[in-house]
Amino acid sequence: MKNMHAAPNRFDLAIVTILCVIAVVLLLSIPAQSLDVNLVYKGF
């Protein structure tokens, strides 16, 4: 437990970075309209 209170090392940050990259890639791959919470249909 003591170790978990220490500052994250490079390995820890690498895991976080990889997950963030995956999330961003997925986010960028979907249509922008899917992220519009106020989306109103304006034809087609």
Partner 1 sequence: MDPPFTSRWQAYGFALTLAFFLLLPAGLSRSGLVRRQDVYQRIPEKFGAFSYIGHQIFDDSSDIDILFLGSSVLWLGIDTPYVQYELSRQLGRPANVITFGSNWRGEELNYILLSEVLQRRKVRMLVITMPLSHQSTNLPHPQSFRWLPHGDNQAALLGLPLRLRLALYGEQVLGAPRHLVGIIRSDIQEKTDFNRMLVSLRGAYRVEAGYLGAPFVMQKTKPPELSARSMIYSPETQRFFNFTQQPLSPYQMHFLRLTTELTRNSGVPVAILNIPLSRQRRNAAVEERMHWSEVFGLEMPIIGVPPATLFRGMTDLEINRCFSDEHMNLNGSDLLTRTVTPAILTVYEEHARRSQ
**Which spans of this chain sit near partner 1 (rule: CB under 8 A)?**
3-9, 12-13, 15-16, 19-20, 22-23, 25-27, 29-31, 33-35, 39-41, 43-44
Token pair recorded at residue 8: 């994250």
| Cα–Cα distance, 29 to 11 (Å, whole number) | 27
- In the complex, the smallest distance separating the C-beta of residue 44 from partner 1, rounded to whole angstroms, is 6
Cα three-residue angle 6-8-12, rounded to 5 degrees:
140
- In the complex, the smallest distance separating the C-beta of residue 2 from partner 1, rounded to whole angstroms, is 10
- In the complex, the smallest distance separating the C-beta of residue 14 from partner 1, rounded to whole angstroms, is 10
